[in-house]
């Protein structure tokens, strides 16, 4: 009997504070029109000073457990995808485990930036397919508002904060995660990165003076790579599973930039209305963007039983990947 992992519960959490483009006009040299035309983003959520990644992740997890209708004690493991952890160590996953009050399970983080949730989903899927574990919690969370330079209009307008969580459970039916496909190319590491704070450039007055603790991005190059990797990921999934784009009910891409999604749709001849898009109100929430969009799609009844859903993302590393789900 073939074992698959099926998503039985979803949850998300967005901070209360809304930061609009009009507010950004008073913070940095930009305009609402410029941001909308270049990105499609009109507003984003910003975590409070007291909120860290584990807090957002915890709230999303509670919602996912409630949606799944299971107890926290039913979990065998927790995987958190984030590049904005509470601290370098311990892992944010262990902090979430602590906040949930669970013992006797294992927890760890995955660092794959905006591709993180799909990476974590793939790892969790393999654990469950092995038959050793039955139920897992997978979380994508990032708090980029605390690692962007709010004087740099090329980056600060793009990102928002949020968390999305999924409960995976072993299932012997034909529904669930059908396949996952992961890739990376370390040669492109410097397209999007934070140079300071690690062992290469540890914290120092010089690091802070040069603002090396903030995101650095080569936007034009990243745009081209993003379009190509998303197209390649979608094509790979379809070919591997013997499907056509018309067989997919909903495409859920990483919510980075509307122009990227439009370019992917045009290149693959997929109408824009078949992509879930919520970046206009959340911005780029990094590892949280795909699970938040999936959670919304399910709650809005955009996805129904036995529909094919295709998740795809790209991120720093450079990393990219996709997952096919039969809902």
Say if residue 96 is in the same domain as residue 153: yes
Average pLDDT of span 151-160? 96
pLDDT bracket for residue 1 (50, 70, 90): low
Active site residues: 114, 254, 284
Mean pLDDT of 93-122: 98
201 in the same domain as 154: no
Same domain, 62 and 38: yes
Final residue before a domain boundary, out of 173, 202, 233:
173
In the chain, what percentage of residues exceed pLDDT 90?
Answer: 98
| Residue that terminates a domain, selected from 126, 147, 173 | 173
pLDDT in tens, 195-231: 999 999 999 999 999 999 999 999 999 999 999 999 9
Q: Which of 27, 296, 317, 68 is nearest to 193 (CA)?
A: 317
CA 212 remoteness from chain centre = 24
Question: What is the per-residue pLDDT across 14-35, written as a single tens digit (0 to 9) for each?
Answer: 999 999 999 999 999 999 999 9
- 49-106 confidence digits (pLDDT tens): 999 999 999 999 999 999 999 999 999 999 999 999 999 999 999 999 999 999 999 9
**Predicted structure pTM score:** 0.97
Domain with 207, as residue range(s), is 178-326
Same structural domain, 25 and 153: yes
**Judgement on whether residues 263 and 222 belong to the same structural domain of the protein:** yes
Residue 282's domain is classified under what CATH number? Answer: 3.40.47.10
219 with 133, same domain: the answer is no
Last residue of a domain, one of 111, 141, 173: 173
Same domain, 297 and 321: yes
Question: Are 115 and 204 contained in the same domain?
Answer: no
Q: How many domains does the chain have?
A: 2
Beta strand 17-20 with 43-46: parallel, antiparallel or unpaired?
A: antiparallel
Is the confidence at residue 38, as pLDDT, over 90? yes
225 compared with 1, residue with greater pLDDT: 225
Residues 84 and 156 occupy one common structural domain = yes
Q: How confident is the model at residue 2 (pLDDT cuts 50, 70, 90)?
A: confident
Q: Compute the distance between CA of residue 54 and CA of residue 60 in angstroms, rounded to an integer.
A: 10
CB atoms within 10 A of CB 13: 26
Is the pLDDT confidence value at 41 over 70? yes
Specify whether the CB–CB gap between 141 and 92 falls below 8 A: yes
Q: Are residues 92 and 190 in the same domain?
A: no
> What is the CB-side half-sphere exposure of residue 289 using CA atoms within 13 A?
32
Whether residues 168 and 44 fall in one domain: yes
Round to whole Å and give the CA distance between 150 and 39. 17
pLDDT digits (tens, 9 = 90+) for 124-138: 999 999 999 999 999
**Burial, 197: exposed, middle or buried (Cβ in 10 Å; 0-12, 13-18, 19+)?**
middle
């Amino acid at each position: 009997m073939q074992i698959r992992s099926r998503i039985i519960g979803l949850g998300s959490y967005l901070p209360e504070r809304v930061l609009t483009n009009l507010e950004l006009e008073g913070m940095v040299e930009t305009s609402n029109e410029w941001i909308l035309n270049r990105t499609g983003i009109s507003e984003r959520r910003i975590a409070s000073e007291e909120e860290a990644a584990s807090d957002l992740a915890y709230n999303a997890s509670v919602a996912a457990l409630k949606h799944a209708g299971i107890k926290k004690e039913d979990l065998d493991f927790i995987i958190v995808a984030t590049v904005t952890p509470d601290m370098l160590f311990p892992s944010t996953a262990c902090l979430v485990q602590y906040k949930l009050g669970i013992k006797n399970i294992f927890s760890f983080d995955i660092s794959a930036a905006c591709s993180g949730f799909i990476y974590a989903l793939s790892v969790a899927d393999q654990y469950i397919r092995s038959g050793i574990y039955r139920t897992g919690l997978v979380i994508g969370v990032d708090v980029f508002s605390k690692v962007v330079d709010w004087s740099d209009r090329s980056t600060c307008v793009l990102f928002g904060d949020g968390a999305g969580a999924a409960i995976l459970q072993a299932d012997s039916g034909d529904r669930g995660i059908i396949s996952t496909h992961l890739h990376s190319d370390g040669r492109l590491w410097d397209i999007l990165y934070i140079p300071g704070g690690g062992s290469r450039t540890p914290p120092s007055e010089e690091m802070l003076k040069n603002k090396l603790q903030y995101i650095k991005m080569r936007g034009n190059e990243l745009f081209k790579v993003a379009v190509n990797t998303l197209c390649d990921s979608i094509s790979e999934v379809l070919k591997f599973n013997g499907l056509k784009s018309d067989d997919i009910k909903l495409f859920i891409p990483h919510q980075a930039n509307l122009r990227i999604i439009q370019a992917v749709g045009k290149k693959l001849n997929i109408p824009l209305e078949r992509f879930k898009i919520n970046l206009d109100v959340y911005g780029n929430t990094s590892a949280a963007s795909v699970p938040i969009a999936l959670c919304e799609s399910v709650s809005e009844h955009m996805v129904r039983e036995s529909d094919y859903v295709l998740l795809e993302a790209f991120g720093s590393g450079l990393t990219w990947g996709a997952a096919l789900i039969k809902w």
